[in-house]
A and B are shown apart, each in its own frame.
Chain A
Amino acid sequence: MDTQINRLPASTGLYVDHNESITFSFEGKNYTGLAGDTIASALAANNVWLLSRSFKYHRPRGVMSMAGLEADTLVQLDGEPNVAADRRKITPNLQVSGQNYNGSLEKDKNANMGAFSKFMPVGFYYKAFFRPKGIWQKFWEPVVRKRAGLGKIDFNSPHSYFDKCYKFCDVAVIGSGPAGLSAALIAAKAGTEVILIEQESLLGGSLNYSRFDAEGKVASATRNELLEAVVAQPNIEVLTNAVCNAWFADNWLPIIQGNRMYKLRAKEMVLASGKMEQPAIFHNNDLPGILLGSAAQRLIRLYAVRPGQRAVILTANDDGYATALDLLENGVEIAAIADLRPSPIATPIYEQINNNGVSIFAGHTVYAAAARSDKNHIQSVELREIIGQGQCKNESKHFDCDLLCVSIGFTPTYQLALQSGGKISYDDETARFSISQLPKSFHLAGAVNGFNKLSSLLDSGNQTGKAVCDNLGLDTKGITSQQTMSSTSNTYGNHPWPIFPHPKGKEFVDLDEDLQYADIVNACKDGYSEIELVKRYSTVGMGPSQGRHSALATARLVANETQRSVAEVGVTTARPPFRAEKLGVIAGRSFEPERLTAIHHRHKELGAQMITAGVWWRPGYYGQPKNRDQCIRDENLVIRNNVGLIDVSTLGGLEVRGPDAAEFLNRMYTFAYAKQKIGMSRYLLMTNPAGTIIDDGVACRFSDEHFYVTATTGGVDNVYRTMLWWNTQWRLDVDITNVTAAYAGINIAGPNSREVLHKVCNDIDLSPEGFPYLAVREGTVAHIPARLLRVGFVGELGYEIHVPASQGEALWDALLEVGKEHNIQPVGIEAQRLLRLEKGHIIVSQDTDAMTTPQEVRMTWAIAKKKPFFVGGRSLQLIDNHPSDRKLVGFIIEASQNESPKESNIILDGNNIVGHITSVAYSPSLNKIIGLAFAKADTEPGMQISIKLSSGMVIQAQVVEMPFYDPENKRQEM
């Protein structure tokens, strides 16, 4: 059975399709709406107005603006909390429920919370709940936490697809009401590329739902005319259902349309965002059935929903009378109109209502609203005559009604303007906010700039369109603005004090936060009189509606209480986003790069356990995780006793070329490179200006003007950036290129490496004399052009072979093939770490931290003393006069079954922490636990250091000379 008792005939309802019904459920009950309905409009058609329970007092709440501006319309969907019911369209079988209730939405067990509101004055949680000490966390916080929040989050919500798109234009127009449309048309006619952004599904803005004349004709006529013109303009791109959600510097605009975020850079920005109608403040002003006048108009014209049966109107301007006409025309009885103005102006709209015989009470307000017996909807209102600011006579008139429409004033939709740096001011005469001091490329058009009459809105749009063209240097002399019908002279205005305190309270200033008149006033009394403090202390404006309906009233109340002007009090900082935005939209698709070496797939085939190294994947070891330690030991011994292959492709590679190449390295690194021989490599140690070690590697000199520089896997990008940064200042004649990914690298190491290599390398003399330790050569390996480096990181005879990345896999295959007879084995990064530890080589960032100097790790041998300059050199000289308290030492412990020390265990001197272990491992070659640790600076070989194990036990370790393995370095120099 169709229960849409409030559905109006098919002649109305711009958004809905009267021919397509959709069934959905709310609170477990099925309802029928029309395609194009929002959840709230479909429920309203079914005469369901109660949508949620309020944050603090669990009061019944429903729609107020029909514009998605308030917290009270937030409902729960499956997997999605806090969905604005007055913006989200219904879809077949959508499951919707209310939020923040205990029991049922209609009969909330916490509904009596409001009865205790006198015991919960503003900031009450600061005044109590802390005696005795610790009681907050133990008792009260859990109580409060149980009641906090609105919707429920679903841990298993399905992952939607979100993406992003860049856009550029000359002019972005935000809002497609009369002003936005006119501005867009002028700009487009002048030849600019315009993007017109509208948050609703149809263009037109207030032309779609407002009434600008007594006859009710001018809006749709104007709309049709403007839209025809817009459609005829090829250089206006229209984005509907799209929200410009923020303004970032230089008109950088996030436009959210469904699950996509456009990032738009606009040369000029026109904000034609209109205005937000404001509620009045009186007893029970939050009951369902109390709507803003514009909300009633939206329901009628956009959704074909009659907002009630019998209405009372509270107004202070012509909008209330326009709403009354709309209601009358759609079969709603008007019980009374209360006009806050002592003597309303007799405009045609007013006259028409007056002639209809509707009771108009000038100089009256709605003093209180009363709920029907179930407390969930308005049933009647109490009118009183106003005798002063916020004061009324004691006599009252009562009117039964199921609808109260409120039209007492507006604020401009100023958020984006304020984000751009605009300043807000307040005119006491008109009781309105206005905005000034905008960036030059930021323009206001229409109601957001204080215009209200239709002719003024259109004029304002045209003027703004011309101003935009002027900024862009375009001539607009020949451009005619759209000819539109003139409208009748409506009066529009804000009432300066639509605020009526009540002895029983419940006159809500901020519905999100259940803040009453007294809460704001008392915050000032407690001393929190700056507007930001009022907000922070009372929480006004902190809820989901972000003060859209409370900022004006709060500013007025604070100004009144502290004897300042509203302009002086102002509003709190406007921050993005304009509307709440899904985190998924902001994140978009996840782009987390992964880098694979050219040999990656071979490692996988060989059963490698891959580990991350920065963004790279590297083989940790080859074999099953359960055999991890054994695998690493075996791989270690392969290198020590035979021959192994290590993929070193992730090592950074930089080409440094040019006449100043050696001088450049001299400045960037601590060592000296001017006299480095061609065909030789030399260690590189990089410090930052503070003298802290930040990277190391080797410099291979292939010619006078060409170095091939290696860097650490994790450090190369920073090294490259740092090099460019410095040379921007130095202007040395040098060219620097990051070739890390262009080369694959394989370290063939172990006593048999020369023999294996010899089989695939015929054009290089591999003899110890022809290719000695630390030499570098160019030639071919397995017919692949290659650079060969005799380096000694693992402490055995070995060659790093660098080839174009495309040939990496071929080289790997070739070396494994010819190495078969020596039983060559692949070796992972874990074994390499152990091998280098046996040689006492540090790993930058593991054995150093963000303060480690070369002195502390005893690498002063790598500092060239005679150079005039290098980065960090001055600091290192100064540090020589202030010796560090610590240094890195090598230690050994006899291997045993007991608890072994771990990396990061601390070193104690007495009870003082003096350092920690940076690297430690069992060395199969030495059958001892070996490690590096920071210890007191006066620690020398032969002494003991105290290690505090994770269990708390303290053990002694012997400090020894390094390297631990092959102290004479004979093996790497074979």
Chain B
Amino acid sequence: MPLGLLKYGFASKYPARRDIPAPKDLNKSYDVVIIGAGGHGLSTAYHLARYHGITNVAVLDKGYIGGGNTARNTAVVRSNYISPEAVAFYKASVELFKNLANELGYNQMYSQRGQLTLAHSDASVRTFTLRAEVNKHLGVRSEMVDRKQIREIVPCLNMGKNMRFPIQAGLWHRDGGTARHDSIAWGYAMRAAQMGVEIHQRTEVTGVNINAGKVTAIETNRGTIQCNHAIQAVAGMSSVVAKMAGIQLPIRSYPLQAMVTQPVKPFLDPLVSSAGLHAYVSQTARGEIVIGGGSDPYELYSTRSTLDLKESLIAHTLELFPFFAELKLLRQWAGITDMTPDYSPIMGESPVKNYWLDAGWGTWGFKATPISGKCMAETIAQEKTAAMIQPFHLDRFKTFKLSNEAGATAASH
């Protein structure tokens, strides 16, 4: 029994710790308005307050804290990307994850259980090998493993040659892991609020006021608030919100389905994904099996569940784990993925002065939550795009200096 829990056992009255501040009125103006109280927005708020002394900050959300993709993702944390800039970025994020609970005083249950990505084709073997080589060079723990090693890592995988696309090899990423996704947002919210940041739930942004090319105020359903800086961190709605500021983003938004089974006794520690089968599987701390797949094949802003993708995804999952046939699905849900042409985010400056972008998070937003907040806070404080996220600048689509992650995302989440 950890000491931290003793006070709860012996207190006569519940010693409540107010993590999320109570609702209050909006001020007339703030130094920084953050649109979106998800992981990224709250991480930015925390880093502004903690490392840059900027606390006159309002974080706005049309719904509840962490209710967008922070709530809907499948909680994979990894850094086995393919481009050097992305590997460096996500590696820095993994480093922050390692210390997050202790920095915030809030347990995110981060655990590096390792991620195994399976290759069923020569093309996948080549791409994974490249990722392993790039990762190793940059100090990320990734290696190619053969069928024998795969059997040792996940003994219950179907290694049969009678599989339609037999498993040829795998990319074993020891730094891969998972964390309790909601609690990332809550931990940042708690610490940011303690330092004076205001968090306003049920506060919907309806417009962005610009004067002489600079953002001046944010309109909401609760009134207009002046601001010196504004940042949007609204994964799934990036294009819609950017349009309020007159900015067109090269983003297409697709629903992404995920699902979870009833809990069973733990048997699967690593996270397993398959590029060819567009499926990824992990077992939560509660014993549920989380299953995710590729995006629905059409653009949509609805997070309703769909049947067709569930059918094909589960069929593919059973290729990997045939005995899952007797498991029972408990719940399916969906999030909206903002896909960019190069599968990398769009971060930093926008065409509107002091209006900052944290967008284009496709299926890779959760794992970047700590580092994005750090970089965006630095960007706002210095009024200049931070060096680490320079490769993710919006202008890259004009100069064709794209950051190609097509080979390392897709269904590896």
Contact = CB atoms under 8 A, between A and B. Distances in A.
Contacts of A537: 182, 186
A575 B332 contact: yes
B266 A950 contact: no
A894 interface: no
A691 B332 CA distance: 38
Nearest to A880: B400
Contacts of A128: 2-5, 107
A246 B327 contact: no
A530 B201 contact: yes
Interface stretch (A444-452, A786-794, A805-813, A900-908): A900-908
A582 B328 contact: yes
Contact of B16 (A526, A904, A912): A526
B301 interface: no
B262 A246 contact: no
A389 interface: no
B294 to A, nearest CB: 15
A884 B399 CA distance: 10
B399 A882 contact: yes
Contact of B71 (A152, A162, A536): A536
Contact of A249 (B180, B304, B402): B304
Contact of A148 (B17, B287, B327, B329): B287
A628 interface: no
Contacts of A528: 19-20, 186
B305 interface: yes
A584 B401 CA distance: 45
Given A152-B264, A906-B134, A950-B133, A533 B65 contact: yes
B109 interface: yes
B192 to A, nearest CB: 13
B130 A906 contact: yes
Contact of B324 (A126, A419, A583, A845): A583
A150 B287 contact: yes
By CB atoms of chain A within 10 A, which of B132, B180, B187, B322 has the most?
Answer: B322
B315 A587 contact: yes
Given A902-B129, A904-B130, A522 B16 contact: yes
B406 A851 contact: yes
B51 interface: no
Contact of A159 (B63, B262, B315, B322): B322
Contacts of B263: 55, 82, 148-150, 543-544
B59 to A, nearest CB: 14
Contact of B306 (A248, A586, A594, A916): A248
Contacts of A594: 164
B326 A154 contact: yes
B209 interface: no
A121 B19 CA distance: 15
B106 interface: yes
A252 B305 contact: no
By CB atoms of chain B within 10 A, which of A82, A124, A131, A533 has the most?
Answer: A533
B286 A81 contact: no
Given A133-B99, A532-B64, A587 B406 contact: no
A875 B165 contact: no
B212 interface: no
A592 B186 contact: no
Interface in B1-38: 1-6, 8-9, 14, 16-22
B286 A149 contact: yes
A125 B107 contact: yes
Contacts of B152: none
Interface residues of B, number: 98
Interface stretch (A136-144, A201-209, A474-482, A743-751): A136-144
B331 A546 contact: yes
B19 A133 contact: no
Interface string B362-404: 0000000000000000000000000000000000000111101
Interface string B291-316: 00000000000001111001100110
Interface string A227-247: 000000000000000000010
A586 B265 contact: no
B99 A588 contact: no
Contacts of B2: 128-129, 131
Contact of A82 (B14, B17, B328): B328
A127 interface: yes
A604 interface: no
A584 B326 contact: yes
A155 interface: yes
Nearest to B8: A121
Interface in B246-295: 261-267, 284-287
Nearest to A534: B64
Given A526-B17, A587-B314, A845-B123, A136 B109 contact: yes
Interface in A509-526: 518, 521-522, 525-526
A156 B326 CA distance: 11
Given A81-B327, A136-B111, A583-B314, A882 B130 contact: no
B74 to A, nearest CB: 15
Interface residues of A, number: 109
A144 B187 CA distance: 21
A117 to B, nearest CB: 9
B8 to A, nearest CB: 4
Nearest to A593: B164
Contacts of A841: none
B5 A156 contact: no
A155 B156 contact: yes
Interface string B78-99: 0000001000000000000011
A522 B5 CA distance: 15
B349 interface: no
A131 B4 contact: yes
Nearest to B324: A583
Nearest to A518: B14
B318 A587 contact: yes
A705 interface: no
Contacts of B407: 849-850
Contacts of A725: none
Interface in A689-706: 690-691
A770 interface: no
A156 B9 CA distance: 44
A526 B329 contact: no
A581 interface: yes
A581 B328 contact: yes
Contacts of A152: 264-265
A24 to B, nearest CB: 19
A228 to B, nearest CB: 36
A252 B311 CA distance: 14
A124 to B, nearest CB: 6
Contacts of A525: 14, 16, 18
B183 interface: yes
A635 B106 CA distance: 63
Contact of A577 (B4, B136, B180, B329): B329
A467 B401 CA distance: 60
Contacts of B327: 81, 153, 582-583
Given A125-B107, A587-B311, A587-B318, 14 more contacts: A124-B8, A127-B5, A129-B109, A141-B285, A249-B304, A576-B307, A580-B330, A583-B328, A586-B314, A590-B319, A612-B165, A845-B123, A884-B400, A913-B134
- Give the 4 A-B CB pairs with smallest separation, nearest first: A149-B287, A584-B325, A527-B20, A850-B406
Interface of B: 1-6, 8-9, 14, 16-22, 63-67, 71, 84, 98-99, 101-102, 106-107, 109-112, 121-123, 126-127, 129-130, 132-134, 136-138, 156, 164-165, 180, 182-183, 186-187, 201, 261-267, 284-287, 304-307, 310-311, 314-315, 317-319, 322-333, 341-342, 399-402, 404, 406-407
23 contacts: A80-B326, A82-B328, A120-B5, A125-B109, A126-B107, A128-B5, A136-B110, A137-B110, A254-B307, A526-B18, A530-B65, A577-B331, A582-B329, A586-B314, A587-B311, A587-B314, A594-B164, A611-B122, A690-B341, A845-B123, A846-B126, A849-B406, A908-B137
